Amino acid sequence: MRILFNEIRKLFSVKIICLLLLVSFIVYQQFIMFEFKHFPNGRPLLDDFRATQKMLVDYGESMDSEEFKDFKGIKEQRISEATAYLKSQKEMVAAGIDTYEEFSNMDLENEKLAALHSKIIFEDYVDVFWEIQARDWIIDRYEHPERFNEHELTPKQNARMDELVKSGSTEAIFTDMVFDNYNVLIKYVANLIFLNIMIILMPLYIRDKRNHVQLLQYTSKTGRSLFSQKLLTGISAAMIVITAQLAFFFFMYRGNDTSMFFSLSINSIFNFFVSWFDLTFFQYIVLTVICVYLLGIALVLVGAWISSIAPNYMTSVGLHVPLAFLLFGSGTAYLIQNLTTIYLNPYLVPISFVIILVLSSLLFMWRYRSEKVKNI
């Protein structure tokens, strides 16, 4: 245990910690903070989000037919408010636009009318007009559930779509902007975690080789066992990094105020994502976290192998480049983002993880056996 603590302390040197903090700061500033600061990103997304939040407060997790009538009634009230606002604007009355119906049917090819329309929507940002648009979109989606199953799919996919519509799962008040925002964030956070793990693991074996410590270690049976001990060190260090990064991310994610959506089904008519499984948003988040940990373990095994065969840091960096492209591209796209999507085989993710973990384990075991009999 003392050896493990000493090795972990060596990995988390002051230089490495400073480098990890610098890389994390840059990634957060360039990619992640935007999704926190600008969520929802402008209008009408902001109005869609507000309308959905109000629906959750008024109707609970789903909206039945009676509640839908009430929702449409509120829209009519907003139309009356919009009409009253138009009547109070001299320019609009002079142009013959004094009802919301006339406003929504304005001829925007006319420069004068287009300017008046733009003033209300994009200059004055009158909230009631934006809210009506948001409610129109929600009403349209609710009144046409058949659009949930309008794509050209396989018989098995179509059967899953029909099952969701019949079960009423599609009526969950879960919006696509919440789901898309989380998917974008977890992608960048996962990439940052994998980059941190690569940085930490590079000196795992190279440092001892450069200092010729292995010549002394391999003269004893206990010394040769350090090779496997270092793998445990790498896994422990990776777990620390993953946990710390995810803890900080979810602390920041609280500011997006999406906790009210955690108990809702992600298979909603208001969300463009469809899952093979009946998952709530919270269960989906837990699933992505598990996948990050599993990919992190596989990365440790491959990274340890690279560190053990690379003669210097430059070679190690070169070997990590294709691994980084693989992870940051298809790795996060299929194994972190959009998990369980109906547009992919339902067994793709579990089979992929089994193959990745088995191959990475075999790769390290092959190296471990050669180190056990290595002649110094």
- Secondary structure of 160-185 as H, E, C letters: HHHHHHHHCHHHECCCHHHHHHHHHH
Q: To the nearest 10°, report the CA torsion of 293, 295, 300, 306.
A: -170
CA distance 348 to 333: 12
Instruction: Show pLDDT as tens, one digit a residue, over the chain (376 residues).
Output: 677 777 788 888 899 999 999 999 999 999 999 989 888 888 888 888 888 888 888 888 888 888 888 999 999 999 999 999 999 888 888 888 888 998 988 888 888 888 888 988 888 888 899 999 889 888 888 887 666 555 667 888 888 888 887 877 777 888 888 999 999 999 999 999 999 999 998 887 777 666 666 655 556 665 556 677 778 888 999 999 999 999 999 999 998 889 999 999 998 888 888 899 989 999 999 999 999 999 999 999 988 888 878 778 888 888 888 888 888 887 888 899 888 888 888 898 999 999 999 999 998 888 777 766 665 5
Helix (H, G, I), strand (E, B) or coil at 341: strand
**Same domain, residue pair 337 and 354:** yes
CA distance 280 to 368: 42
| 203 located within any domain | yes
Helix (H, G, I), strand (E, B) or coil at 280: strand
- Give the end-to-end CA distance of the chain in Å, rounded to a whole number: 27
Angle at 90 between CA 86 and CA 95, to 5 degrees: 80
CA distance 144 to 147: 6
**Which tokens go with 158?**
């179509």
Cite the DSSP H helix spans in 121-154: 127-143
Task: List the one residue out of 56, 51, 46 whose CA is nearest residue 256.
Answer: 46
Rg of the chain in Å (alpha carbons):
28
**Same domain, residue pair 18 and 64:** no
**Same domain, residue pair 124 and 201:** no
Task: List the one residue out of 75, 68, 67 whose CA is nearest residue 129.
Answer: 75
| 159 located within any domain | no
Among 94, 121, 152, the domain-final residue is: 152
**Same domain, residue pair 211 and 344:** yes
**Cα–Cα distances in Å, from 192 out to 27, 28, 119, 164, 285?**
7, 9, 43, 35, 17
| 158 located within any domain | no
| 232 located within any domain | yes
Task: List the one residue out of 47, 221, 67 whose CA is nearest residue 133.
Answer: 47
**Same domain, residue pair 181 and 148:** no
| 338 located within any domain | yes
**Cα–Cα distances in Å, from 108 out to 96, 111, 113, 156?**
14, 7, 6, 45
Look up residue 288 and give its DSSP letter: H
**Same domain, residue pair 184 and 279:** yes
| 169 located within any domain | no
Domain of 71, in residue numbers: 44-152
pTM assigned to the model: 0.88
**Same domain, residue pair 139 and 57:** yes
**Same domain, residue pair 33 and 51:** no
**Same domain, residue pair 215 and 78:** no
Helix (H, G, I), strand (E, B) or coil at 250: helix
102 contacts 96 by C-beta, under 8 angstroms: yes
**Same domain, residue pair 4 and 137:** no
**Same domain, residue pair 254 and 274:** yes
| 331 located within any domain | yes
Scan for tokens 């199953």, then name that residue. 149
| Cis peptide preceding 322, ω within 30 of 0 | no
**Same domain, residue pair 236 and 194:** yes
CA distance 128 to 79: 8
| 53 located within any domain | yes
State the total domains in the chain. Answer: 2
